[in-house]
């Protein structure tokens, strides 16, 4: 099993550009979530999904969109990148019985 796969690992964007961070899991977990990690602030929840077709906002959702058309995939879209979105992004999947599994992260720089 691959677990949680995030792509790309690194990305540089110009202010105003849009892009999609991909996240896929092969563990048939019902829950998926996106976090951003900033120095001294730990990980903060951006958006989450409790199943295909269901998404909800986390702590810091502004500037991001998500969709969950399948159980496996949970892409995170930046609509118009801003320097404040420079961060490391982690995708995670989880289930009630098996806890959380994290992807290896995407380091995003917005210039």
Partner 1 sequence: GEDVEQSLFLSVREGDSSVINCTYTDSSSTYLYWYKQEPGAGLQLLTYIFSNMDMKQDQRLTVLLNKKDKHLSLRIADTQTGDSAIYFCAEIRNAGNMLTFGGGTRLMVKP
Which residues are at the interface with partner 1 (CB under 8 A)?
Answer: 31, 33, 35, 40-45, 48, 50, 58, 90, 92, 94, 96, 99-100, 102-105
Closest to partner 1 by CB, 14 or 96: 96
Residue 31's nearest CA partner among 45, 14, 15, 10 is 45
Closest to partner 1 by CB, 12 or 41: 41
Closest to partner 1 by CB, 15 or 95: 95
CB of 41 to partner 1, least distance (A): 6
CB of 66 to partner 1, least distance (A): 14
CB of 64 to partner 1, least distance (A): 16
Sheet of 4-7: strand order equals 4-7, 19-25, 76-78, 64-66
SS (H, E, C) 2-41: CCEEEECCEEEECCCCCEEEEEEECCCCCEEEEEEEECCC
Cβ distance 102 to 91 under 8 Å?
A: yes
CB of 85 to partner 1, least distance (A): 19
Closest to partner 1 by CB, 9 or 80: 9
| Cis, peptide link before residue 8, omega less than 30° from 0 | yes
């Amino acid at each position: 099993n691959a677990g949680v796969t995030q792509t790309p690992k690194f990305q540089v964007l110009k202010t105003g550009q849009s892009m999609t961070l991909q996240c896929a899991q092969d563990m048939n977990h019902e829950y998926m979530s996106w976090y951003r990690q900033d120095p001294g602030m730990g990980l903060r929840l951006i958006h989450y999904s409790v199943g295909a077709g269901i998404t909800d906002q986390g702590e810091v959702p502004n500037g991001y969109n998500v969709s969950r058309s399948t159980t496996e995939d949970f892409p995170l879209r930046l609509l118009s990148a801003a320097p404040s979105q420079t961060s490391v992004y982690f995708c995670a999947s989880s289930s009630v019985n098996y806890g959380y599994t994290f992807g290896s992260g995407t380091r995003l720089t917005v210039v």
